[in-house]
Amino acid sequence: MALILHSNPGNKNSMKGLIAAEYAGVKVELTKDFQFGVSNRTPEFLRLNPFGKVPVLETPDGPVFESNAIARYIAKLDPEGVLLGSSPYEVALIEQWIDVATTELDSNLSRWVYPLLGFGPYPYSEELSESASAAVKAALRVLNGHLALNTYLVGHSVTLADIILSCNMLTGIRCTFTKEFLSEFPHLERYFWTIANQPNVKKHFGDVSLAEKAPTPPKKQGNTGKKEEKKAKAEKPKEAQKPKEVQKQPEKPKEAPAKPKEEAAEQDEEEEKPKPKPKNPLDLLPPSPMVMDDWKRLYSNTKAKDFREVAIEGFWKMYDPEGYSLWFCDYKYNEENTIKGVWLFRGQEIPQMVLDECYDVELYEWTKVDIADEAQKERVNAYLEEPDEFDGEKLLEAKCFK
Ligand SMILES: N[C@@H](CCC(=O)N[C@@H](CS)C(=O)NCC(=O)O)C(=O)O
Altogether, the residues listed in the chain come to a count of 402
CA 40 – ligand 1 centroid, Å: 10
CA 136 – ligand 1 centroid, Å: 19
Q: Which residue of 6, 14, 31, 53 sits with most ligand 1 atoms within 8 Å of its CB, as the best mutation to test the pocket?
A: 53
Per mean pLDDT, which range of 112-121, 134-143, 212-221, 284-293 is the poorest?
212-221
Each residue of 206-251: pLDDT tens digit?
A: 999 999 999 998 775 444 444 444 443 443 333 333 323 223 333 3
327 pLDDT more than 90: yes
67 pLDDT more than 50: yes
CA distance 302 to 308: 9
Residue 53 CB–ligand 1 contact under 6 Å: yes
Q: Is 97 left (phi over 0), alpha (psi -120 to 50) or beta?
A: alpha
Residue 19 CB–ligand 1 contact under 6 Å: no
CA 41 – ligand 1 centroid, Å: 12
Q: Which atom of ligand 1 is nearest to the CA of 41?
A: 17
330 pLDDT more than 50: yes
Residue 52 CB–ligand 1 contact under 6 Å: yes
Sketch out the chain's domains with CATH numbers: 3-76 (3.40.30.10), 88-205 (1.20.1050.10), 283-394 (3.30.70.1010)
Each residue of 183-196: pLDDT tens digit?
A: 999 999 999 999 99
Mean pLDDT, all residues of the chain? 84
- Cα-Cα-Cα-Cα dihedral sign, residues 110, 116, 120, 125: positive
Show Cβ contacts of residue 384 under 8 Å, excluding neighbours closer than 6 positions. Answer: 299, 307, 311, 312, 315, 342
The residue whose CA has the least distance to atom 9 of ligand 1 is 54
Q: Which atom of ligand 1 is nearest to the CA of 110?
A: 6
The residue whose CA has the least distance to atom 2 of ligand 1 is 66
CA distance 250 to 260: 20
Q: Which atom of ligand 1 is nearest to the CA of 12?
A: 10
CA distance 185 to 99: 20
Helices (H) and strands (E) in the chain, counts: 17, 9
Using an 8 Å Cβ cutoff, are 3 and 75 in contact?
no
pTM over 0.75: no
Using an 8 Å Cβ cutoff, are 201 and 195 in contact?
yes
Q: Residue 47's pLDDT is what?
A: 98
Q: Which amino acid is at 194?
A: T
Percent of residues in the chain assigned helix, strand, coil, to nearest 5: 50, 10, 40
Nearest CA to 31 among 54, 65, 61?
Answer: 54
CA 61 – ligand 1 centroid, Å: 22
